Amino acid sequence: MHSARIAIDPSFTVGPVRRETFGSFVEHLGRCVYTGIYEPGHPSADAQGFRGDVLDLVKELGVSTVRYPGGNFVSGYKWEDGVGPAADRPVRYDLAWHSTETNAFGLNEFMAWTKASGTEAMMAVNLGTRGIQEALELLEYSNAPGGTALSELRRSHGVDEPHGITFWCLGNEMDGPWQLGHKTATEYGRLAAETARGMRQMFPELTLVACGSSSSNMPTFGEWERIVLTEAYDEVDLISAHAYYREENDLPSFLAAADDLDYFVASVAATADAVGAARKSPKKIGISFDEWNVWYHEEENPGIITGGEWPVAPRMEEDRYTVADAVVVGNLLISLLRNTDRVHSASQAQLVNAIAPIMTEPGGAAWRQTIFHPFALTSRFAAGRVLRVAIDSPSYENARFGSSELVDAVATHDADAGTMALFVVNRALDAATSIRLDATAFGDVSLVEALTFSNDDVHWRASEQDSTSVLPTPNPTAALADGALTIELPPVSWSMVRLTVA
């Protein structure tokens, strides 16, 4: 058995636990919208066509913000197509995912869905094939109370009150050659800055996100952020980061994916701070990690559709996640939390069916994938302040990172509620790891519960027929004595320990 030590102290904090860290993403990709969140005629559907079984799971998942409508989809999207009487809406080709978009579900349906799900909208504007004027028109339609052409148009569509959307993404992945309207960093930075200025002239208190790199592996990574922020530093609040990971016949490297996420955050923060220093600006740019997940892109059928067929809501990118995938997702959440001083929001991509924690069948069941569980528990119990965690752990060799620690962890402390939560992963493949947590700095400490998610078969996957055989279960090895917690973590596992503190 391996062994590791963890020490935490309530005096040493990173920053607040931000509810925006637990965001998600709904794009018109595959079955995320149609037969995902929206399926009129489903036995659980409400009068608006929203699947009730999915709404229940979204609430259980603990989602805060939801990014919409893309993603690659937004770079060719005309928001006007998705408002007004459904029978009058045009049917279009979606070039991003080679599909047909019926526009039966659009802006007003999405905003009604956010109310039903208790989430906040994170709206994206099209800066690929469109620009400043169209972004301002969408903003006026969405947020103006009345008395203008577009606000009155919204009211004629049956939405009297403004949506009041305050969180906006200025395009999507404009660094990527695959993106409709792909631009150089200078071209995009200028457009983002001008769009932001215009939007703030209408509503000054918006939170605006500029496009950062779509991957830390992009050849323009770093330089893209520097140029974009040189153009738009004063106009935006956050810059985005996107990262996806997958097991590529190299489980040890995959389990250390959070090492890359930490590197990504540190690099973007350093670049943003360098731009700020050159401008002699006291302002700090935050990071919106508004796409992240495990994604076996194009590796599992069906993948990207090509040719003469343009199907409506095809089955695509419907990854079926393993126990190991869930451990990595839990570890990525650990990374996002420990970087809460710079990561101000995050959106797991996506919510339903397409690279998602929730799966559905048309007319049938909805169920939880393995990655659902670490997200739901972290969202539910991470509260208060994120603590700095000192870890003394053995390391292990892997092909991608060279050397990584076997144990990774983060802790949160809610002083008002008198609670603390530890989220911890064991990356070891060969043996359990014994953890000793020194919590004497908290005074009187009591153990509330310890849950572990693991399985002897790390490639076990949930399915419609069996989504409950492997769940987070109580860890009987957890014990507390003299302010020290001890617990044994199985190989390839994610765990949560909850304590009450004085």
User: How far is residue 234's CA from residue 285's CA, in Å, rounded to a whole number?
Assistant: 9
Contact 136, 149 (CB under 8 A): no
Task: Collect contacts of 43-51 with beta carbons under 8 A, ≥24 apart.
Answer: 43/363, 46/116, 48/109, 48/112, 48/113, 48/116, 49/105, 49/109, 50/112, 50/113, 50/116, 51/360, 51/366
User: How far is residue 413's CA from residue 11's CA, in Å, rounded to a whole number?
Assistant: 10
Judge whether 173 counts as a catalytic residue: yes
Within 10 Å of residue 473's Cβ, how many Cβ atoms? 11
Burial of residue 466 (number of CB atoms within 10 Å: 0-12, 13-18, 19+): exposed
C-alpha distances out from residue 128 to 77, 212, 259, 343, Å: 9, 15, 32, 25
Within 10 Å of residue 222's Cβ, how many Cβ atoms? 16
Residue 274 three-state SS: helix
Calculate helix-pair angle for 107-117, 132-143, nearest 10 degrees: 50
Which residue in 27, 101, 173, 225 is the catalytic one? Answer: 173
Sign of CA dihedral 266, 319, 105, 177: positive
Judge whether 248 counts as a catalytic residue: no
Question: Which of 323, 334, 497, 499 shows the shortest CA–CA distance to 408?
Answer: 334
Within 10 Å of residue 198's Cβ, how many Cβ atoms? 16
Q: What are phi and psi of 274, to 5 degrees?
A: -65, -40
Q: State the virtual CA torsion across 61, 66, 72, 73 in degrees, nearest 10.
A: 110
User: How far is residue 487's CA from residue 490's CA, in Å, rounded to a whole number?
Assistant: 10
User: How far is residue 324's CA from residue 371's CA, in Å, rounded to a whole number?
Assistant: 9
Give all strands (DSSP E) within 204-246, no chain letters: 207-210, 238-245
Characterize the bridge pairing of strands 473-474 and 407-414.
unpaired
Which residue in 140, 291, 317, 488 is the catalytic one? Answer: 291
Residue 500 three-state SS: strand
Q: Which residues contact 367 (CB under 8 A, 6 or more apart)?
A: 358, 359, 360, 462, 463, 464, 467
Which residues are known to be catalytic?
A: 173, 291
